[in-house]
Structure 1
Amino acid sequence: MSHLDTTATAAGAAGVTDEALAGLRRWNLGLTVLHAAQAVAILVLGSGFAIAVTSTYPTGPPGTPPPTPSALFDVSIASAIAVFLFLAAIDHLVTATIGRGLYEADLRRGINRFRWAEYSISATIMIVLIGFYFGLTDIATVILVVGANMAMIFFGWLQERMNPPGRASTTMLPFWFGTVAGAAPWAAIVVNFVGSAEVPGFVIVIFSTLLVFFSSFAVNQWLQYREIGPWRSYAFGEKVYLVLSLVAKSALAWQIFGGSLAG
């Protein structure tokens, strides 16, 4: 790879060549099939297992002991998993077909709005599901988890918007703000994890592996904007996002399947 390939200029992001874009299109087409196939498999093979979202609305003045939680509605776990897998499949299909022109133009500008739009929903469903398995099922808690995770994703989007190719300097403020927002749901999960009388082994595995994967997305962006090694190429960072998205979604889907959906 030449020096021009790995140096961002006003003309475009580093490493985003015609050859790299053609390779990314093939990757997106392949990931469309892999995500969609897994979504269908989960729907076909999964059981009817569901988790209830509850409420503990106040029944008196401040300080009044909270009432026993009451169920508001049930969330089908297989359906929720299928939704975030199908969202990823749609994202990859659009970027490889009808949205290809906009996707590739964005990559040349060092940004991928399709990624952030998809993550804002799919990653949020994922963290809500992880929270469910640690008892974060109260409707108010779920809303706060959704808000914090979506804020993290949008800060990631802002990080790209504020650091275009050819910039004179790099700011990491959106990245660090997003890190704080994204840590909040995990802190709540840890509180319930530590306080639980018993946590099934597969739930501990979900917590451990998905914490690593969620953190890896942040590490990938940090490496991009620190321009370390191959991450000097924006196209390389984009490919890492594709791999992380597939592995994280697949890991959560099949770990939950093995623990809760396999009959």
Structure 2
Amino acid sequence: MTTPSAMATASGVDHRSLRSLRRWNLGLTVLHAAQAVVVLVLASDFAITVTTSLPTGPPGTPPEAPEAFFDVPIGGAIAVFLALAALDHGLTATVLRDRYETGLRAGINRFRWVEYSVSATLMVVLIAFYTGITGFSAVIGIAGANVGMILFGWLQEAANPPGRAATTMKAFWFGCVAGAAPWVAIGYNILSAETVPGFVYGIFASLFVLFSSFAVNQWLQYREVGPWRSYAFGERAYLVLSLVAKSALAWQIFAGSLAG
């Protein structure tokens, strides 16, 4: 078996870039944690109820009317979303720094995908809530599709180690298919509703762009477009997106909770 030390090092990953990335991670830890605290302080008691609707007879029998299952406090959920990002950056800058940097040299950041699989899934579920998708079974399906998308991102990195003879994008495109499913459901609900405030369309479009920016970054990284030829540059771009995109996602959803 090839040991990590015998493997090629990802482009751009050197002592200087690793020191810079550590500073970024420390800074993002503070900024995300501070935002989580602010959200908790400002949060109202607004919550969305997840419902269940179970079969009452043989196949084809109309299901029972939806019943309340549990409530999700939106302010608390957004604070958890931001806290997960803070935890990820904090751990990779401190106690897990050696493993994080070893992974970067090998062209992979497993911690990123673990955190995204939870935080990004939480956020897309909240977006679905805002468009009326609150059935427990539907929520499970949306969450599962989003987790699958994130894990395909992990597989994309694992399948393309430094020094590879060729780059495969199969995992990336498979992830795009899985990740599209929640947005099709969300978009359908928005377009099919009889009355939707105009600003909802703007929020949907902006959230979709912000969510997609992470996939665009990976595509640029593995197509080695311009500065993305450096794996370290792509990692830094993920950190920038972690601050800008995650903050924008969180505050737009939070603003909706205050309006609610």
* Range class of TM-score, shorter chain: over 0.9
Aligned partner of 1:134 in structure 2 is 131
CA distance in 2, matches of 1:259, 1:147: 25
Q: Distance in 2 between matches of 1:200 and 1:79?
A: 25
**Per-residue deviation, residues 137-193 of structure 1 (Å, max 9, x unmatched):** 100000001110000000000000010000011111110110000000000001101
Tell me the matched-pair count.
255
Q: Which runs of 5+ in 1 are unaligned?
A: 1-8
Kindly indicate whether the alpha-carbon contact (under 8 Å) linking 1:46 and 1:262 is maintained by their aligned counterparts in 2.
Answer: no
TM-score (structure 1 length as normaliser): 0.94
2:51 maps to which residue? 54
What is residue 33 of structure 1 aligned with on the other side?
30
2:219 paired with 1:230 = no
Within the candidate set 199, 203, 211, 2:200 is matched to 203
What does the per-residue CA deviation read over 1:20-39, in whole Å, with 9 as the maximum and x for residues that have no partner? 11010010011001100010
Q: Percent same amino acid at aligned positions?
A: 69
Q: CA RMSD in A?
A: 1.4
Is the CA contact (8 Å cut-off) linking 1:25 and 1:96 kept in structure 2?
yes
TM-fit CA distance, 1:202? 4.4
8 Å Cα contact 2:210/2:249 also seen in 1: no
Partners of 1:257 and 1:227 in 2: CA distance: 36
Residue in structure 1 matching 2:62, options 61, 65, 69: 65
Alignment-derived partner of residue 111 in structure 1 = 108
Q: Is contact 1:202–1:255 with CA below 8 Å preserved after alignment? A: no
Residue 3 of structure 2 is matched in structure 1 by: none
Structure 1 window deviating more from structure 2 (243-252 vs 93-102): it is 243-252
**Aligned pair 1:95/2:92, yes or no?**
yes
* Structure 2 residue corresponding to 1:24, chosen from 1, 21, 26: 21
Instruction: Note if contact 2:78-2:254 (Cα within 8 Å) is conserved in structure 1.
Output: no
Q: State whether residues 156 and 178 of structure 1, in contact with CA within 8 Å, keep that contact through their aligned partners in structure 2.
A: yes
In 1: Cα distance, 2:254 partner to 2:174 partner: 34
Asked if the contact 1:56–1:138 (Cα under 8 Å) also holds between the matched residues in 2, the reply is: yes
Alpha-carbon distance change, 45 to 202 in structure 1, aligned in 2, over 3 angstroms: farther
Displacement of 1:59 after TM fit? 1.2
Contact 2:214 2:238 in 1 (8 A): yes
Task: State the 1:98 CA deviation.
Answer: 0.5
Instruction: State yes or no: 1:246 paired with 2:229.
Output: no
Aligned to 1:6: none
- TM-score, with normalisation over the residues of structure 2? 0.95
* Alpha-carbon distance in 1 for matches of 2:198, 2:101: 43
- Whole-angstrom distance in 2 between the partners of 1:130 and 1:229: 33
